[in-house]
Amino acid sequence: MKTDHELIKEFQNGNNDAFNILVKKHLPDTIGFFVKITSNTIEAEDLAQDVFIKMYKALKKFRFASKFKTYLYRANINMANSFFRTKKWKNLLHLDEVPEQGYYDNSIDNKWKKEELWNAVAKLPGSQRKVLTLRIARELKYKEIAQILKISENSAKVNYHYAIKTLKGRLS
Amino acid sequence: MKFENKLKHLLSQVDNSIDSSSFLSSLHKERKRRNLQRNKIINTFSAFALLLVVGLTSIKSLSNEPIFIANNDLYALQQMDEETEALIFNLADYLVTTSDDFWETMTFFEEIQFEPMYSLNINGGLE
C-alpha cells in the first residue's frame, strides 16, 4: 500500500486517482471527527467535503515538510473552528434552537446532551476550543496537539485545563 | 467518572461509516461546480471592468466642451511671413498668366484651397 506522501506525489504529477485513494483512506477518520462535533451526519459530510475540496487545491503545492495526517488535522480543526463560530452566532440569534436529526444518531437524549456540549464548546475562546476539540473528539496526545496547532505542549495543557474548567461550570 | 471521561464517553458512540464512492463523486461534482462559479465571477468582473473602461472612454469622447470641439473640428490658422506670401502670389500670378487653360488653373486653386485667387474669381475680378 502506498504511503500518503507517495500518493500526493502521484497526484501532483496529474494522477487524480491518487487523490481519490487518499480521500478514501482518511474519510472515515475525518467524517468521524465532524460527526462528533456536529451530531449530524449530513452536516459532517458537508464539512468533510469542504475540507477535501480545499485539500485538492492545497495538495498541488504540498511541500512534504510535515505528515499529511498532521496537515489534514490542521485543516479539520480550522474547519471545525469556523463551524463553531457560525454556531455561536446562530445560537446568539436563536436560529438553531431545534437541531436537525442526523441519521446515525438515534438517541435523542444523547443528542441533546451533545448539542449542549458543543454549544458550550462554541462559546470557548478560539485556542481553548481548538485544543479541547482535538483532545476529546480526536483523542490526541498533547504533543500531537501542540504539533498540529504549532504551540508548545505546556500551552496545549493550560488551554485544555481552562477549557475543561469553563465547561464544567457551564454544563453542571 | 471524571468530567473528561464523561465527555469522551458522550462522544464515543459514533458511527462514521460512509459510502466513499458516492462521497467522492459528490466531492468532485461540487469541486467542479465551485470552479465554474469562480470562473463565472471572474468573467463577470472582467466584463464589468471592460465595460467601465469603454464607457468612460465613450463619455470622454462625447464631451460637449467648446475647447474639445475646437480642437477636433477647426484647423489652426497658418500664418505666412511676408516673403513667402509674396512668392506664393507671384507663383499664382505666373500660373494664371502662363496657363493655356485658365479654368483648369482656377480649379487647381480651388483644390488646394488657395483662398485669395479663388475669392478673386468669385468676385468676378479675374476673367
pLDDT exceeds cutoff 90 at A56 = yes
pLDDT digits (tens, 9 = 90+) for B73-84: 665 556 667 888
Note the pLDDT of residue A59. Answer: 92
pLDDT digits (tens, 9 = 90+) for A78-97: 998 888 888 777 766 665 55
Q: Does A110 touch chain B (CB under 8 A)?
A: yes
| Contact assignment for B8 to A136 by CB distance below 8 Å | yes
With a CB cutoff of 8 Å and minimum separation 6, the contacts of A127 are A149, A151, A155, A159
| Contact assignment for A136 to B14 by CB distance below 8 Å | no
Q: Which residues of A touch B23 (CB under 8 A)?
A: 23, 27, 45, 48-49
Rounded to an integer, the average pLDDT of A28-35 is: 88
Helix axes A68-92, A16-38, angle to 10 degrees: 40
Q: Which residues of A touch B14 (CB under 8 A)?
A: 32, 35-36, 104-105
Give the chain A residue whose CA is nearest to the CA of B9.
Answer: A136
Residues in chain B: 127
| Contact assignment for B14 to A24 by CB distance below 8 Å | no
pLDDT exceeds cutoff 50 at B46 = yes
Rounded to an integer, the average pLDDT of A61-66 is: 88
Note the pLDDT of residue A106. Answer: 47
At residue A47 the predicted structure's pLDDT band, cuts being 50, 70 and 90, is very high
Rounded to an integer, the average pLDDT of B34-44 is: 94
At residue A51 the predicted structure's pLDDT band, cuts being 50, 70 and 90, is very high
Note the pLDDT of residue B64. Answer: 66
* Mean pLDDT lowest among A17-21, A122-126, B67-71: B67-71
Enter the ipTM.
Answer: 0.70
With a CB cutoff of 8 Å and minimum separation 6, the contacts of A130 are A77, A80, A81, A149, A159
Rounded to an integer, the average pLDDT of A68-72 is: 91
- Write down the mean pLDDT value for chain A: 83
| Contact assignment for A45 to B14 by CB distance below 8 Å | no
**DSSP conformational letter for B113:** T
The overall pTM is greater than 0.80: no
Q: Does A43 touch chain B (CB under 8 A)?
A: no
Note the pLDDT of residue B63. Answer: 64
Contact A122, A92 (CB under 8 A): no
| CB nearest to B10's CB, from A49, A114, A168 | A114
In whole angstroms, what separates CA A115 from the centre of its chain? 16
Q: Does B97 touch chain A (CB under 8 A)?
A: no
pLDDT exceeds cutoff 60 at B126 = no
At residue A10 the predicted structure's pLDDT band, cuts being 50, 70 and 90, is very high
pLDDT exceeds cutoff 50 at A100 = no
- Higher local confidence (pLDDT), B40 or A101: B40
Exposed / middle / buried, residue B119 (Cβ in 10 Å: 0-12, 13-18, 19+): exposed
**Residues 78..97 of A with a Cβ closer than 8 Å to B: which?**
none
C-alpha span between B30 and B15 (Å, rounded)? 25
Q: What percent of chain A has pLDDT over 70?
A: 85
Note the pLDDT of residue B73. Answer: 61
Note the pLDDT of residue B75. Answer: 58
Map out the domains of chain A with their CATH numbers: 4-123 (1.10.1740.10)
Nearest alpha carbon to residue A113 among A161, A172, A165, A163 = A172
How far is the alpha carbon of A42 from chain B, nearest alpha carbon, in Å? 11
Contact A37, A136 (CB under 8 A): no
Tell me the CB-side half-sphere exposure of residue B120, using CA atoms within 13 A.
15
C-alpha span between A19 and A10 (Å, rounded)? 8
Nearest alpha carbon to residue A133 among B8, B111, B50, B127 = B8
| Contact assignment for B26 to A31 by CB distance below 8 Å | no
Contact B34, A53 (CB under 8 A): yes
Note the pLDDT of residue A119. Answer: 79
Helices and strands (DSSP H and E) totals, chain A: 8, 0
Contact A91, A122 (CB under 8 A): yes
3-class DSSP assignment, residue A3: coil
**DSSP conformational letter for A60:** G
- CA torsion A171-B4-B10-B15 (nearest 10°) is 140
C-alpha span between A131 and B10 (Å, rounded)? 18
